[in-house]
Amino acid sequence: MQHKYPYLIVEGNIGAGKTSLSKKLAAEFDCRLMLEQFEDNSFLPKFYNDSRRFAFPLELSFLAARFTQLKDIITNQSEIFSNPSIISDYSFFKNLVFARVTLEDDEFQLFYKLYEIIQPQLPRPDLIVYIHRPVGQLIANISKRGRSYEQDIRPSYLEKIEAGYFEFFKQMPKQKVVVIDAKNLDFVNDADDYERLKDVLFTTEFAEGISRPVI
């Protein structure tokens, strides 16, 4: 089986398992792994404590950090030639998904203008894999991993994030997006689940737009 996507993104809601799947795929196919550096963001715990006050600085800081990381890695030609395929656990457009939920309308309009200025400098992914899980599973996963600042995340917030992703997917008809219903999948601990998922991702010829393969 061959990994055929030079730039593959694993996306999903908070607690969906994006990083776990990205790590497994990158290790198996010897790809460059690009993980979001959210733990270094000092605004994140502040946001969960006082979302109205810290939403705008949080989203701006993520916008800057994600752009810098993507730009540094993707434009480093010597590294790309030595290991050309990249698997990432985040997309740049997730900035808009979260900002649309957390910001007031006037703040979002300013944020969107900044996004539009810098986004064209980045390449479009060859494939986006979106891991869908029910909100109850997301809450359980969030609780299990034990990040203190995440423990008060409400189901309604996760529902808005999920809706936001699909709203943006609809606005990208030329982008290949594969939605994986992972309600009954454990691709971290169940080897059969992982193999079935991998087989679908790398043997199926996906069309542009949203695909929902059965695993």
Name the nearest CA neighbour of 43 among 53, 32, 29: 53
Pairing state between β 7-12 and 127-132 = parallel
Name the nearest CA neighbour of 96 among 178, 171, 179: 171
At 119, is the secondary structure helix, strand, or coil? helix
Nearest-angstrom CA–CA distance, 200 and 184: 16
**39-43-47 Cα angle (round to 5):** 110
Nearest-angstrom CA–CA distance, 169 and 187: 24
- Catalytic residue (one of 30, 40, 89, 106): 89
Nearest-angstrom CA–CA distance, 146 and 33: 24
Beta bridge partners of 211: 178
CA distances (Å), origin 69, targets 36, 128, 167: 8, 18, 25
Is 89 a residue of the active site? yes
From start to end of the chain, where are the E strands? Answer: 7-12, 32-34, 86-88, 127-132, 176-181, 209-211
Q: Which residues are catalytic?
A: 89
